[in-house]
A and B are shown apart, each in its own frame.
Chain A
């Protein structure tokens, strides 16, 4: 099946800083999603983005399908952005495969 790798595994930021999270995948995808898991375990879908660029407030995501990677940008980070960010992908032959996540800590 498809392999999904995320980097960096951990990230510590000062409030107000910007960051970029990366997701590499091993096959062409017809489904790629980014999620945020808060400290209480709740998973929230951020973007459905198999290709192209989307923006939602301070967050934006870009997927370059031909080069098999996706980026999640967080601008002007806030403490509430802390948590784990997961990328998940599906090449169309199965269900979503999740990466191991990037743990983000934003300090005041």
Chain B
């Protein structure tokens, strides 16, 4: 089983507030990802990292930012939340050796509602 954890699982915040979604993994994976998913819809990659001090923007434009100071930790921050940010945010990681090192493991997700 994957050991990747997200907090908070559910959050309701007001417009304009700053929020950080936490993601940690204990598998020593080099690669970590943040996806955004609206209910019943496809996943969109918003940020990824291939290692410490490495971050890249994904396919979907996002007003969020990320950091990767430690291998196991990949937090996502929204400086000023808006109702359009209401969504599920999924953190994932991959790593290891060989082809199966490409296998991606997901956290349980963080459901964000901005009112």
Between A35, A96, A101, the greatest number of chain B beta carbons within 10 A of the residue's beta carbon is seen for A96
Contacts of A1 in B (CB 8 A): 59
- Which of A84-103 touch B at CB < 8 Å? 84, 86, 88, 90, 95-101, 103
Q: What is the interface of chain B mostly: helix, strand, loop, or mixed?
A: mixed
Are A48 and B103 CB-contacts (below 8 A) given A99-B42, A100-B42? yes
Nearest A residue (CB) for B106: A43
Q: What is the interface of chain A mostly: helix, strand, loop, or mixed?
A: strand
Are A95 and B48 CB-contacts (below 8 A) given A41-B109, A43-B90, A100-B42? yes
Interface residues on A, range: 20 to 34
Contact A95 B43, beta carbon cutoff 8 Å: no
Q: Chain B: residues with CB nearer than 8 A to chain A?
A: 2, 33, 37, 40-43, 45, 48, 58-59, 88, 90, 92, 99-100, 102-106, 108-109, 111
Q: Chain A: residues with CB nearer than 8 A to chain B?
A: 1, 30-31, 33, 35, 40-45, 48, 50, 84, 86, 88, 90, 95-101, 103
